[in-house]
Amino acid sequence: MIKKQRLLFLFILSIALFFILAACNKDTQSESEGSGNAEGENKASEGEASGDKILVFGRGADSIQLDPSKVTDGESIYVTNQIYDTLVRYEEESTEVKPALATEWKVSEDGKVWTFQLRDDVKFHDGNDFTAEDVVFNFERWTTSAEFVYYGYMFGASEDNMKGIIEKVEATGDYEVTFTLSEPNAPFLYTLAMPPFGIASSKAVEEHGEDYFKNPVGTGPFTFEEWLPDDKITLKKNPDYFGEPANVDQVVFRVIPDNGARFMELQAGSIDLMMGLNPQDIATAEGDDNLQIIRRPSMNVSYMAMNTDKEGPLADKLVRQAVNLAIDKEQLISLYEGIGKAAKNPIPPSLWGFNDDVEDYGYDVEEAKALLAEAGYADGFEITLYTFANPRPYMPQPKVTAQAIQEMLKEVNIKVKIVENDWDSHLDATENGKHDMAFLGWTGDNGDPDNFMYVLLDKDNAKMGSAGNIAFYKSDEVHDLLKEAQVEMDQEKRTALYMKAQEIIHDDAPWFPIAHTTPPLAAKKSIVNYVPHPTGSEPFNLLDIQE
Amino acid sequence: MAIQPNPVTDPGIDAVDKNVQIKGQRLWVDALTRIIKSKTSLIGLCIILLLIITAIFAPIIATHSTTDQSIVNRYQPPSSEHILGTDELGRDIFSRIVYGTRISIQIGVISVGISLVIGVLLGGLAGYFGRWVDQIIMRIIDIMMAFPSILLAIALVAVLGKSLTNAMIAVGLVGIPQFARIVRATVLSVKETEYIEAARSIGAKHRRILFQHVLPNSLAPIIVQATLGIGTAILDAAGLSFLGLGAQPPTPEWGAMLSDGRAALQTAPWVVAFPGLAIFLVVLGFNLFGDGLRDALDPRLKR
Amino acid sequence: MAKYIIRRLMMLIPVLLGVSIITFSLIHLIPGDPARSMLGEKASETQLELLREELGLNDPYMVQYGRFMGKVLTGDLGESIQSKEDISYELMQKLPATMELAVFAMTIAIVIGILAGVIAAVKQYSWFDNISMTGALFGVSMPIFWLGLMMIWIFSVTFNILPPSGRITTGVELDTITNFYLLDSILTWNWVAFKDVFLHLLMPGIALATIPMAIIARMTRSSMLEVMRQDYIRTANAKGLKRHLIIFQHALKNAFLPVLTVIGLQFGLLLGGAVLTETIFSWPGVGRYVLLAVLGRDYPIVQATILIIATLFVLINLITDILYKYFDPRIKFN
């Protein structure tokens, strides 16, 4: 009996003790801070000694895979862009290309044979030499499965023709590689600069097999160090980088899902640079002496696609035009809090080929009603609008934007039901045409209009199940123009073709184009030489932290 | 979330079964007097009445429509035009909260209704028939109680699909064990009393005994649990909506409003603050009143 | 005592069995084809068939369940659909974060809750009693996600004194041994890290502690009042024993038992409440993990996580039951 009492008492005591201990620890710690915390300084001085400059980059979601050839999400590409190099890279601020793994290149008269001279002084992070064989290995690997999504998109590969337009890739020397195309392809060189076509170490790919996506080995300015899923990815500087070696020693990509929380971390100083800023917080950041806003040049579009393929009102061009007229775009754009400009075409105005003569529909409820009446829908109808939960660079507030449109369309008796999914499910649903209307957007990959128009609005890409064209817009006229532009090598002629296509698209109104944004990034003032690239990601080797 | 006193270990409810024999109206009259005398439960009652009145007269009380937007006027701080300010689409927060009372009541009634009907049925059967019926039902209840409730609710919504209706169903299912256990305990204690014995001896049917004699005597603790349960249900459903698993736009559900306002926490904190305050007040009301009821129906615990 | 524990453990078997059946059946409750809703509509028929084969969806129910349990018992919780990562491994990475937060919150709840409850009971009807019990009532009515956001607004946004998210500032070095960061920082005498980790724990800890603290305080108070009314306390009082001795050595000791049960129960519920707290404070734990899985329809993760948490919950309740029996002077074993 007595024993039991004591035990009980001990139990309570130990709980109390634990707390007191914790409290004491805190006391001693704050005291020792004042009197020169030996332990702490040890740690700190270790850090100092190695002079580690750590860049902590905050973002909203984790990478899916670190094998760039298999992914399309920006979060994965952002990291792999540090680890891999492509044959050519984009210039710092434009989509013009400059040498990278390839030093020079030439193209045959008919535009079908491309020969690249490669650097002979490059090693992969695993120590193996980079040779022409590695390039061949990568390109052949990408033709083995439909998993290599971008290869399919960019080179027109399909299930019957896994190679697409690239007939052959050969090592014509230790450091020379030759591509033979089945037809000329105007954007080919620019496409090769896209991060998904980063060259991986063939040895590493073979060694890791299925697990390669979490053991990436490239030639880039940073080497892969550690990946804690949903938490952080750590990269270390590659001191042997063939280009400009990195200024920072480590880059940590930290996942902080909520935009607001991420910004607070930046304010508190625990991260250095962040993407995905709530537009509401821009003013706060600009008013903060320690922070700066860096704007990424605009090369994107956000839109609401209308499913032209589904039976129902939206199959009728008049209805789609009416929807365009019934939404007050200026009001809608104000939800972008100054980071967006109203869109009227599928391609952004910064791109060549943009047709400024196209006149946007404008906001006119009466005319919208008239068109609906003409189409036989004077009493309106019910319709779904698919949207996604988390903000994207081209659409900072999808949920709010959807609600705004819902309310505006009520004016013309169109009753909108909002269906919100997380990003992956949204893509699944829209690629399969589950929606009547759906939000989506696109950030340009290679600075070619083809990369917008063909991917998003050609009938080739309106395939159920893997549609890039989620309006399922199938215009033969547009298709012919876009196809012709692909094989035409003369840019002036191509411009004319794209101009014409934009006019037709405007009239058919498969989309309600919303905006082109300049996505803001927020950073500490100490971050210098950081130049965001219009394509949405860039290597961090030039970036520096100034103390 | 759903973290409320376990009725089985709670002396208040244990005690209730001992006095269920205090029959008839006296109990209720006594209880009523006690509630009116107790300041806290009176406050609770007032909050609940206010909630109900607001819900009924929402169209009169609300100053604006819940969906009318004015994007230019988004994130307005509280003013004479918009008492509680405006949200991300320039909608009037006060009016949305006012209409939100209807949704809260709906959540409370439907969720608790589900828990109550199924819980009472299961508990009643287990307590009345005993033996293997009891064994089976109580094991099922044990298993249900092995899941932290919010987690079970999330899993159910994950399976059923996210919507306010499914959130209410999930919250309702999760609340079943509480009722089942209370009812079983009271039924057990009532079952052996003389008048039930008498009813049985004159050959009354099981169903008749159960519904006409046993259950009415378990009413007091059920009412207490239902009152407290409504508070919990509102809290849980708001949590699910906050996580994006409950009410979908443009429903002015408080948890969803709060979640939508998060983006502007720094610039327009009132968008988050007021819906949260509303949830808090209403739940507090049900807790105060439920506590008061419990004390009132159990003279032994009278302070 | 040993006999009691064994008997109690035996009683656990049917409960855990039931828990596993429910968790397992979840996947079968999904309307339509589970393989389809996991892979999305773009999956080809071959991929679907592969997944069905992999999940064994073509086998009879009991066979499927048997295989599921066989795997679970060997520690294999399956693979995530999205990341293809081993779920047991991922859970082991995230569980310490959640447990640390839960233990921290529970410590706050127990210490403050019991203290407040005892004082409120001893000084019944005093201002302290009134204030602390009103506070407790506010506590049980609190939407903790709102409380969390308000704390962030006050302490992170307005005063900038507490970190709004995460477990540790990136760049603060800490050698991990147990993955309980607070413990690790003590073990390695790393005070810089200790302070940082402690500050990170504070807001989520308090948010998570609110409800259990309130319940423990109320329980302690009513339990203490009950005990103090009893004869032996009155006798002790009459005998003129020192008051604090009576309160702490006699009254609290007996009043503690029902409180103990509540503590066990609340600790388990904390694991569920962590979903909200972890979401608000970007805490890299199990709660956020399961929520992301729910939103991304990664059902194997949902299944595995719920199974693990429910098992933990059951075990915690078992431990409290055993402690209860052990400390209860009235209960004889055998």
- Give, for B244, the enclosing helix (H) or strand (E): none
Residue-wise pLDDT tens digits, A487-527: 888 889 999 999 999 999 999 999 999 999 999 999 999 99
Measure the CA angle with vertex A103, ends A102 and A106; round to 5°. 85
Pairing of strands A520-524, A222-228: unpaired
To the nearest 10°, report the CA torsion of A240, A243, A244, A247. Answer: -50
Residue-level pLDDT at C195: 92
Rounded Cα–Cα distance for residues C278 and C289 (Å): 9
pLDDT band at A3 (very low <50, low <70, confident <90, very high): low
The string of pLDDT tens digits covering residues B39-77 is 888 999 999 999 999 999 999 999 998 888 888 888 999
Flag if C290 and B151 touch (Cβ within 8 Å). Answer: yes
pLDDT category of residue A6 using cuts at 50, 70 and 90? low
Q: Is the pLDDT of residue A37 over 60?
A: no
What does the pLDDT look like over B177-189, one tens digit per residue?
Answer: 999 998 888 888 7
Summarised one tens digit per residue, pLDDT across range C179-194 is: 889 988 988 888 889 9
* Residue A10: pLDDT band with limits 50, 70, 90: low
**Burial per residue of A185-212, b for 16 or more beta-carbon CB atoms within 10 angstroms, e otherwise:** bbbbbbbbbbbbbbbbbbebbeebeeeb
Instruction: Give the Cα-Cα-Cα angle A422, A424, A428 (nearest 5 degrees).
Output: 115
For position A4, what pLDDT does the model report? 52
Residue with tokens 């736009």: B249
> Quick one: how far is CA A210 from the chain centroid?
24
Under a CB-based contact definition with an 8 Å cutoff, are residues C91 and C308 in contact? yes
Q: Is the peptide bond before B250 cis (omega within 30 degrees of 0)?
A: yes
Q: Is the pLDDT confidence value at B242 over 60?
A: yes
Partner-chain contact A260 B262, CB within 8 Å: yes
Centre a 10 Å sphere on the Cβ of residue A3 and count the other Cβ atoms it contains. 7
Alpha-carbon distance A304 to A416, whole Å? 13
Stronger pLDDT, C81 or A191, i.e. the higher one: A191
A511-517 β-sheet, strand order: A340-342, A511-517, A300-306, A437-443, A381-388, A414-421
Domains, chain B, ordered by start:
30-65+87-301 (1.10.3720.10)
Q: Contact A218/A199 with Cβ under 8 angstroms?
A: yes
* 3-class secondary structure per residue, A167-180: EEEEEEECCEEEEE
Name A57's bridge partners.
A253, A273
Q: Report pLDDT for C66.
A: 86
Helix/strand/coil (H, E, C) string of A446-475?
A: CCCCHHHHHHHHCHHHCCCCCCCCCCCCCC
Q: In this predicted structure, what is the pLDDT of residue C41?
A: 56
Mean pLDDT of C273-294: 89
The predicted pLDDT at position B73 comes to 87
Radius of gyration of chain A (CA): 27
Quickly state the pLDDT bin for C42 (edges 50, 70, 90). Answer: low
User: Greater confidence, C179 or A173?
Assistant: A173
Give the model's pLDDT for residue A167. 93
User: Does residue A19 surpass a pLDDT of 50?
Assistant: no
| pLDDT attached to residue B10 | 40
Confidence label for B11 from pLDDT (cuts 50, 70 and 90): very low
Contacts of C252 in chain A (CB under 8 A): 12
- Residue A125: CB partners within 8 Å, gap ≥ 6? A83, A201, A217, A218, A219, A223, A224, A238
Interface subset of C 112-141, CB within 8 angstroms of A: 114
Contact call for residues A504 and A475 (beta carbons, < 8 A)? yes
pLDDT of residue B267: 87
Confidence at C98, pLDDT banded by 50, 70, 90: very high
What is the value of pTM for the model shown? 0.84
Question: B102, B251 in Cβ contact below 8 A?
Answer: no
Query: What pLDDT was estimated at residue A268?
Result: 83
Nearest to B150 by CA among C208, A383, C1: C208
Mark yes or no for CB contact A9/C249 under 8 Å.
Answer: yes
pLDDT of residue C39: 65
pLDDT at A171 over 80: yes
> Is the per-residue pLDDT at C51 higher than 80?
no
Q: CA–CA distance from A328 to each of A362, B73, B138 (Å)? A: 8, 15, 59
| Residue B201 reports pLDDT greater than 60 | yes
B142 part of contact set with chain C, CB < 8 Å = yes
Chain C residues whose beta carbon lies within 8 Å of the beta carbon of residue B277: 146
Chain A (311-340) residues lying within 8 Å, Cβ to Cβ, of chain C: none
Tell me what ipTM this predicted complex has.
0.86
- Give the model confidence (pLDDT) of A273-286 as tens digits: 999 898 889 989 99
Q: What pLDDT score was predicted for residue A7?
A: 54
SS3 A243: coil
Alpha carbon of B184: minimum distance to chain A alpha carbons (Å): 33
In whole angstroms, give the CA distance from residue A286 to residue C215.
45
Nearest CB partner across the interface for C275, out of B3, B151, B235 = B151
Q: What is the pLDDT of residue A542?
A: 93
Cα separations in angstroms, A200 against A81, A155, A213, A538: 12, 19, 11, 18
pLDDT value at position C110?
A: 94
Q: Find out whether A415 and A383 touch, Cβ atoms under 8 Å.
A: yes
* pLDDT of A186 above 90: no
Chain C residues lying within 8 Å of B104, measured CB to CB: none
Secondary structure of residue A185 in the 3-state scheme = coil
Please determine, for residue A38, whether its predicted confidence score (pLDDT) is greater than 60.
Answer: no
A41 pLDDT above the threshold of 70: no
Residue A243 backbone phi and psi in degrees, to 5: -90, -145
Residue A1 has pLDDT above 60, yes or no: no
pLDDT at C44: 64
pLDDT for the residue numbered A166: 94
Q: Nearest residue of C to residue A27 by CA position?
A: C195
Q: Which two tokens stand for residue A116?
A: 């690249």
Query: What percentage of residues in chain A have a pLDDT greater than 70?
Result: 90
Smallest CA–CA distance, residue A278 to chain C, in Å, is 15
pLDDT(C333) > 70:
no
Chain B residue at shortest CA distance from A389:
B244
pLDDT at A64: 82
Nearest chain B residue to C306, by CA? B151
Task: Reply yes or no on whether the pLDDT at A305 is more than 70.
Answer: yes
Sorting pLDDT into bands at 50, 70 and 90, what band is A130?
Answer: very high
Q: Measure in Å the smallest separation between the Cα of C18 and chain A Cα atoms.
A: 31
CB contact (8 A) between residue C306 and residue B151: yes
Highest mean pLDDT among A165-174, B288-297, C296-305: A165-174
